[in-house]
Amino acid sequence: DIQMTQSPSSLSASVGDRVTITCRASQSIRHFLNWYQQKPGKAPKLLIYAASTLQSGVPSRFSGSGSGTDFTLTISSLQPEDFATYYCQQTFSTFGQGTRVQI
């Protein structure tokens, strides 16, 4: 199985901060990577697919990059509603362990 490792597992940030979350695959997955946001008690929400394509309706402050084994999710200016847990997912398979973004 391909393993997905996110870092950090949690981070503290302030409104307006630029936040970067990293996801590393144990072997190349080309661009087959998705990012999801999950708030407590809610279902996950798709943010980005194909490593860098923004899902319809997702604010442009979210962006994704990377290919092969190393991927990044960036929030350019953190908003109050962005405090949540973020997961990467290899298409058709494993999720990362999550990164909690807290105040």
d(CA 1, CA 24): 14
CA distances from 84 to 28, 45, 101 (A): 27, 11, 5
Among 11, 44, 52, 68, binds other proteins (CB under 8 A): 44
Residue 52's closest CA among 71, 77, 80? Answer: 71
Report whether 33 contacts 57 (CB < 8 A): no
Among 16, 60, 81, 92, binds other proteins (CB under 8 A): 92
Binding of other proteins by 15 (CB under 8 A): no
Binding of other proteins by 98 (CB under 8 A): yes
d(CA 71, CA 51): 7
Binding of other proteins by 37 (CB under 8 A): no
Binding of other proteins by 93 (CB under 8 A): yes
Among 16, 43, 81, 103, binds other proteins (CB under 8 A): 43
Among 5, 20, 55, 63, binds other proteins (CB under 8 A): 55
Binding of other proteins by 45 (CB under 8 A): yes
